[in-house]
Amino acid sequence: MVCLTLSLSSLLVSLASCRIILTGVSSRKSSLPLSFSLLGRPTMTSSNGEVPTSDPTETASHESLPAALTASDKSSFAYPTMKDRVPTILCKTIDILHRGRTERTEAEREEVKKVVESLAKLRYQLQTNKAFEKIADQGDDQTVWNDVLTKATKSGGGQAPKWFETTWLYAECYVYRWVFARLRLFSK
């Protein structure tokens, strides 16, 4: 249970960072000179050091910056991250949940079974480069994530982003938010 608690704490920190990147909203000033939008295009911070609160799919005109990392580029670190590391994290999360099943009531075991099935489905979708699905957990930031997904779908010609074809940072953050959504259902 300690491992799961530590994983959840790390997940919450990762999600907070992802939310700042996706929305451009932070409760503190940023010391970074630029941030990256959903599509990997740079946006400069304002003169007072705060990340702008504009649409995350908007771009600044900085031609000298490299293209965003995607897992479709097998020579970048994004590829092994999405191909190996993220599925391993999902697998370990499933294993932790499965190992603790004897300590739970029958009703809790059924909930854990649903969470494990959901995480296994996510792992399959990731490994087979399926399209993203909307977040459905009624979290306070659910609409932010789903709005960004809707914008990405519109900008992709009606096609939802796929795990290996969209910006690596967005894809990895989305995985953690999706996992959090499933674990949130279990934590009831």
Paired tokens of 116? 């494990």
Q: Provide mean pLDDT across the span 67-93.
A: 95
> Measured between alpha carbons, how far is 84 from 27 in angstroms, rounded to an integer?
33
Q: Report the pLDDT value the prediction gives residue 95, as an integer from 0 to 100.
A: 94
Q: Domains of the chain: which residue ranges? A: 2-22+68-186
Q: Cβ–Cβ contacts within 10 Å for residue 35, how many? A: 18
Q: Which amino acid is at 16?
A: A
**Residues 125-167: tens digit of each pLDDT:** 999 999 999 998 888 999 999 999 999 999 999 999 999 999 9
> Quick check: 51 and 26 in contact, CB under 8 A?
yes
Q: Report the pLDDT value the prediction gives residue 131, as an integer from 0 to 100.
A: 96
**Residues 10-60: tens digit of each pLDDT:** 554 455 555 545 544 433 333 333 334 444 444 444 444 454 444 545 555
Q: Report the pLDDT value the prediction gives residue 62, as an integer from 0 to 100.
A: 60
Question: What mean pLDDT, rounded, does the chain reach?
Answer: 77
Q: Report the pLDDT value the prediction gives residue 71, as an integer from 0 to 100.
A: 95
Q: Where are the alpha helices (DSSP H) in the chain?
A: 2-23, 78-80, 86-99, 106-127, 142-155, 168-186
Give domain 2-22+68-186's CATH architecture.
Answer: Up-down Bundle (1.20)
Segment among 39-53, 98-112, 139-153, 168-182 with least mean pLDDT:
39-53
